Amino acid sequence: MTTNLLHPDKWVDLYADYLFNYAVARVSDAETAKDLVQETFFAGLKSAKNYKGDATERTWLIAILKRKVIDHYRKINSKKGKAEVRINYSSNSDSDGDWLEEQVADPFSTLENDFIENEELGLAIQECISKLPKKQSLVFNMKTIQGVSTEDICKELGINPSNLWVMVHRARTALMGCLNENWF
Amino acid sequence: MISCEEAAKICNKAQYNEAPLLEKLRLKLHILFCNTCSKFSKKNTQLTSLCDKADLRCLSESEKVEMKEKIKPEL
Protein backbone atom coordinates (compact mmCIF):
# COMPACT_ATOMS: atom_id res chain seq x y z
CA MET A 1 0.00 0.00 0.00
CA THR A 2 1.28 3.43 -0.81
CA THR A 3 1.49 5.80 2.11
CA ASN A 4 -0.61 8.92 1.98
CA LEU A 5 0.97 12.33 1.87
CA LEU A 6 -0.40 15.61 3.09
CA HIS A 7 -1.09 18.46 0.68
CA PRO A 8 -2.11 21.34 2.94
CA ASP A 9 -2.31 23.78 0.04
CA LYS A 10 -5.27 21.82 -1.32
CA TRP A 11 -7.06 21.30 1.98
CA VAL A 12 -9.53 24.14 1.69
CA ASP A 13 -10.65 23.22 -1.80
CA LEU A 14 -10.87 19.51 -1.13
CA TYR A 15 -12.11 19.20 2.42
CA ALA A 16 -13.54 22.49 3.71
CA ASP A 17 -17.11 21.69 2.69
CA TYR A 18 -16.88 18.10 3.84
CA LEU A 19 -15.58 19.11 7.26
CA PHE A 20 -18.08 21.96 7.44
CA ASN A 21 -21.02 19.58 6.90
CA TYR A 22 -19.68 17.28 9.54
CA ALA A 23 -19.27 20.14 12.01
CA VAL A 24 -22.57 21.84 11.28
CA ALA A 25 -24.46 18.65 12.07
CA ARG A 26 -22.84 18.63 15.50
CA VAL A 27 -22.77 22.22 16.63
CA SER A 28 -25.81 23.43 14.66
CA ASP A 29 -24.43 26.89 14.19
CA ALA A 30 -22.76 27.77 10.90
CA GLU A 31 -20.42 30.39 12.30
CA THR A 32 -19.08 28.09 15.04
CA ALA A 33 -18.78 25.25 12.54
CA LYS A 34 -16.72 27.45 10.25
CA ASP A 35 -14.38 28.38 13.09
CA LEU A 36 -13.95 24.73 14.01
CA VAL A 37 -13.00 23.89 10.44
CA GLN A 38 -10.48 26.71 10.43
CA GLU A 39 -9.02 25.51 13.73
CA THR A 40 -8.84 21.99 12.32
CA PHE A 41 -6.68 23.22 9.47
CA PHE A 42 -4.38 25.07 11.88
CA ALA A 43 -4.06 22.05 14.12
CA GLY A 44 -3.46 19.84 11.10
CA LEU A 45 -0.62 22.05 9.93
CA LYS A 46 0.89 22.14 13.36
CA SER A 47 0.93 18.40 13.77
CA ALA A 48 1.62 17.55 10.13
CA LYS A 49 4.92 15.98 11.14
CA ASN A 50 3.04 13.44 13.25
CA TYR A 51 1.04 12.24 10.26
CA LYS A 52 2.12 8.71 9.54
CA GLY A 53 0.26 8.26 6.29
CA ASP A 54 -1.77 5.26 7.42
CA ALA A 55 -5.10 7.02 7.10
CA THR A 56 -6.18 9.18 4.22
CA GLU A 57 -5.81 12.90 4.57
CA ARG A 58 -9.55 13.31 5.00
CA THR A 59 -9.90 10.70 7.71
CA TRP A 60 -7.02 12.28 9.55
CA LEU A 61 -8.59 15.75 9.36
CA ILE A 62 -11.97 14.43 10.49
CA ALA A 63 -10.26 12.90 13.53
CA ILE A 64 -8.85 16.32 14.41
CA LEU A 65 -12.20 17.97 13.85
CA LYS A 66 -13.84 15.47 16.21
CA ARG A 67 -11.47 16.59 18.96
CA LYS A 68 -12.25 20.21 18.14
CA VAL A 69 -15.99 19.58 18.48
CA ILE A 70 -15.47 17.95 21.86
CA ASP A 71 -13.23 20.83 22.98
CA HIS A 72 -15.90 23.25 21.86
CA TYR A 73 -18.51 21.62 24.10
CA ARG A 74 -16.07 21.49 27.02
CA LYS A 75 -15.41 25.18 26.61
CA ILE A 76 -19.04 26.30 26.52
CA ASN A 77 -19.79 24.02 29.42
CA SER A 78 -17.11 25.50 31.63
CA LYS A 79 -18.24 29.01 30.69
CA LYS A 80 -21.65 28.22 32.06
CA GLY A 81 -20.11 26.77 35.19
CA LYS A 82 -20.89 23.19 36.01
CA ALA A 83 -22.81 21.00 33.64
CA GLU A 84 -26.36 21.03 34.74
CA VAL A 85 -28.28 17.87 35.54
CA ARG A 86 -31.99 18.24 35.24
CA ILE A 87 -34.12 16.08 37.45
CA ASN A 88 -37.43 17.62 36.61
CA TYR A 89 -40.05 15.37 35.18
CA SER A 90 -40.14 17.44 32.06
CA SER A 91 -38.55 20.77 31.33
CA ASN A 92 -41.72 22.30 29.96
CA SER A 93 -44.37 21.09 32.34
CA ASP A 94 -44.94 20.79 36.07
CA SER A 95 -46.67 17.45 35.91
CA ASP A 96 -45.07 14.50 37.64
CA GLY A 97 -45.20 10.83 36.99
CA ASP A 98 -43.05 7.82 36.30
CA TRP A 99 -40.65 9.90 34.40
CA LEU A 100 -37.92 7.49 33.46
CA GLU A 101 -40.31 5.14 31.79
CA GLU A 102 -42.11 7.91 30.03
CA GLN A 103 -39.03 9.69 28.77
CA VAL A 104 -37.25 6.81 27.05
CA ALA A 105 -36.94 6.89 23.29
CA ASP A 106 -39.75 5.41 21.28
CA PRO A 107 -38.35 2.05 20.15
CA PHE A 108 -40.36 2.22 16.94
CA SER A 109 -39.18 5.65 15.96
CA THR A 110 -37.02 5.79 12.86
CA LEU A 111 -36.34 9.49 13.14
CA GLU A 112 -32.85 9.16 14.52
CA ASN A 113 -31.96 6.62 11.86
CA ASP A 114 -33.13 9.05 9.24
CA PHE A 115 -30.91 11.68 10.73
CA ILE A 116 -27.87 9.41 10.69
CA GLU A 117 -28.61 8.19 7.21
CA ASN A 118 -29.08 11.70 5.89
CA GLU A 119 -25.80 12.78 7.39
CA GLU A 120 -24.01 9.86 5.76
CA LEU A 121 -25.69 10.75 2.51
CA GLY A 122 -24.58 14.35 2.85
CA LEU A 123 -20.98 13.35 3.43
CA ALA A 124 -21.10 10.91 0.52
CA ILE A 125 -22.34 13.67 -1.76
CA GLN A 126 -19.68 16.08 -0.49
CA GLU A 127 -17.02 13.50 -1.16
CA CYS A 128 -18.25 13.13 -4.73
CA ILE A 129 -18.41 16.89 -5.20
CA SER A 130 -14.81 17.24 -4.06
CA LYS A 131 -13.75 14.92 -6.88
CA LEU A 132 -15.21 17.24 -9.51
CA PRO A 133 -13.04 19.72 -11.38
CA LYS A 134 -12.85 23.01 -9.49
CA LYS A 135 -15.04 25.04 -11.85
CA GLN A 136 -17.78 22.40 -11.95
CA SER A 137 -17.93 21.98 -8.20
CA LEU A 138 -18.07 25.73 -7.81
CA VAL A 139 -21.00 26.08 -10.21
CA PHE A 140 -22.79 23.06 -8.74
CA ASN A 141 -22.40 24.34 -5.18
CA MET A 142 -23.63 27.80 -6.03
CA LYS A 143 -26.57 26.53 -8.02
CA THR A 144 -27.67 23.57 -5.93
CA ILE A 145 -26.60 24.28 -2.38
CA GLN A 146 -26.54 28.04 -2.14
CA GLY A 147 -29.40 28.44 -4.58
CA VAL A 148 -27.86 31.39 -6.42
CA SER A 149 -29.79 32.35 -9.54
CA THR A 150 -28.44 31.47 -12.97
CA GLU A 151 -28.11 35.14 -13.82
CA ASP A 152 -26.06 35.97 -10.72
CA ILE A 153 -23.72 33.02 -11.19
CA CYS A 154 -23.08 34.03 -14.78
CA LYS A 155 -22.32 37.57 -13.72
CA GLU A 156 -20.03 36.51 -10.89
CA LEU A 157 -18.07 33.97 -12.89
CA GLY A 158 -18.18 35.80 -16.19
CA ILE A 159 -19.72 32.93 -18.13
CA ASN A 160 -22.83 32.70 -20.27
CA PRO A 161 -25.90 30.59 -19.40
CA SER A 162 -25.13 27.85 -21.90
CA ASN A 163 -21.64 27.46 -20.37
CA LEU A 164 -23.32 27.21 -17.02
CA TRP A 165 -25.74 24.50 -18.07
CA VAL A 166 -22.95 22.51 -19.69
CA MET A 167 -21.04 22.59 -16.41
CA VAL A 168 -24.13 21.71 -14.40
CA HIS A 169 -24.74 18.81 -16.76
CA ARG A 170 -21.21 17.49 -16.41
CA ALA A 171 -21.27 17.87 -12.65
CA ARG A 172 -24.63 16.14 -12.29
CA THR A 173 -23.63 13.28 -14.59
CA ALA A 174 -20.41 12.77 -12.65
CA LEU A 175 -22.28 12.84 -9.34
CA MET A 176 -24.81 10.28 -10.56
CA GLY A 177 -21.93 8.00 -11.48
CA CYS A 178 -20.12 8.61 -8.21
CA LEU A 179 -23.16 8.03 -6.03
CA ASN A 180 -24.46 5.21 -8.13
CA GLU A 181 -23.13 2.23 -6.24
CA ASN A 182 -24.42 3.18 -2.83
CA TRP A 183 -27.34 5.50 -3.06
CA PHE A 184 -29.52 4.97 -6.10
CA MET B 1 -38.69 16.18 -32.01
CA ILE B 2 -35.83 17.51 -29.93
CA SER B 3 -32.38 15.95 -29.72
CA CYS B 4 -31.14 14.02 -26.70
CA GLU B 5 -28.70 16.80 -25.99
CA GLU B 6 -31.54 19.29 -25.89
CA ALA B 7 -33.60 16.93 -23.74
CA ALA B 8 -30.78 16.64 -21.20
CA LYS B 9 -30.46 20.39 -21.02
CA ILE B 10 -34.16 20.84 -20.34
CA CYS B 11 -34.05 18.06 -17.79
CA ASN B 12 -31.21 19.81 -15.94
CA LYS B 13 -33.08 23.09 -15.97
CA ALA B 14 -36.16 21.34 -14.68
CA GLN B 15 -34.16 20.23 -11.62
CA TYR B 16 -33.89 23.87 -10.66
CA ASN B 17 -37.44 24.75 -11.75
CA GLU B 18 -36.07 26.79 -14.58
CA ALA B 19 -37.63 24.98 -17.52
CA PRO B 20 -40.64 26.66 -19.13
CA LEU B 21 -43.80 24.61 -19.52
CA LEU B 22 -43.48 24.19 -23.27
CA GLU B 23 -39.95 22.84 -22.91
CA LYS B 24 -41.07 20.43 -20.23
CA LEU B 25 -43.77 19.10 -22.55
CA ARG B 26 -41.17 18.62 -25.28
CA LEU B 27 -39.03 16.73 -22.80
CA LYS B 28 -41.95 14.52 -21.76
CA LEU B 29 -42.66 13.69 -25.39
CA HIS B 30 -38.99 12.90 -26.04
CA ILE B 31 -38.85 10.64 -23.00
CA LEU B 32 -41.78 8.61 -24.28
CA PHE B 33 -39.68 7.46 -27.20
CA CYS B 34 -36.17 7.60 -25.83
CA ASN B 35 -35.08 5.03 -23.32
CA THR B 36 -31.70 6.60 -22.57
CA CYS B 37 -33.16 9.98 -21.76
CA SER B 38 -35.89 8.39 -19.72
CA LYS B 39 -33.27 6.73 -17.54
CA PHE B 40 -31.21 9.89 -17.34
CA SER B 41 -34.22 11.93 -16.34
CA LYS B 42 -35.18 9.49 -13.62
CA LYS B 43 -31.70 9.48 -12.13
CA ASN B 44 -31.34 13.21 -12.41
CA THR B 45 -34.56 13.72 -10.49
CA GLN B 46 -33.36 11.24 -7.89
CA LEU B 47 -30.14 13.16 -7.51
CA THR B 48 -32.15 16.29 -6.81
CA SER B 49 -34.17 14.60 -4.11
CA LEU B 50 -31.02 13.10 -2.56
CA CYS B 51 -29.45 16.54 -2.42
CA ASP B 52 -32.58 17.93 -0.79
CA LYS B 53 -32.72 15.12 1.71
CA ALA B 54 -29.10 15.51 2.70
CA ASP B 55 -29.59 19.15 3.62
CA LEU B 56 -26.22 20.05 2.14
CA ARG B 57 -24.26 23.00 3.38
CA CYS B 58 -21.22 24.60 1.94
CA LEU B 59 -18.93 27.51 2.52
CA SER B 60 -19.02 30.34 0.05
CA GLU B 61 -16.08 30.97 -2.21
CA SER B 62 -15.14 34.13 -0.31
CA GLU B 63 -15.15 32.23 2.98
CA LYS B 64 -12.82 29.66 1.44
CA VAL B 65 -10.48 32.33 0.18
CA GLU B 66 -10.44 33.80 3.67
CA MET B 67 -9.57 30.38 5.11
CA LYS B 68 -6.75 29.94 2.63
CA GLU B 69 -5.37 33.36 3.51
CA LYS B 70 -5.41 32.49 7.19
CA ILE B 71 -3.49 29.26 6.84
CA LYS B 72 -1.08 30.59 4.25
CA PRO B 73 1.52 31.91 6.74
CA GLU B 74 1.63 28.46 8.34
CA LEU B 75 2.26 26.56 5.13
Say whether B67 and A16 touch across the interface (CB within 8 A).
yes
**Contact list, B58 vs chain A (CB under 8 Å):** 17, 20-21, 126, 141, 145-146
pLDDT digits (tens, 9 = 90+) for B20-75: 999 999 999 999 999 999 999 999 999 999 999 988 889 998 999 999 999 888 87
Domains annotated on chain A, with CATH: 1-85 (1.10.1740.10), 128-184 (1.10.10.10)
Query: Using alpha carbons only, what angle is made at residue B36 by residues B43 and B47, rounded to the nearest 5 degrees?
Result: 10
- Which of A9, A34, A169 lies closest to B63 in CB terms? A34
pLDDT digits (tens, 9 = 90+) for A95-150: 555 556 666 667 777 777 788 888 889 999 999 999 999 999 999 999 999 999 99
Report the distance separating Cα B18 and Cα B15, nearest Å. 7
- Rounded to the nearest angstrom, the minimum Cα separation between B12 and chain A is 7
Q: Is the pLDDT of residue B9 over 50?
A: yes
ipTM over 0.85: yes
DSSP string, A13-61: HHHHHHHHHHHHHHH--HHHHHHHHHHHHHHHHHTGGG--SSS-HHHHH
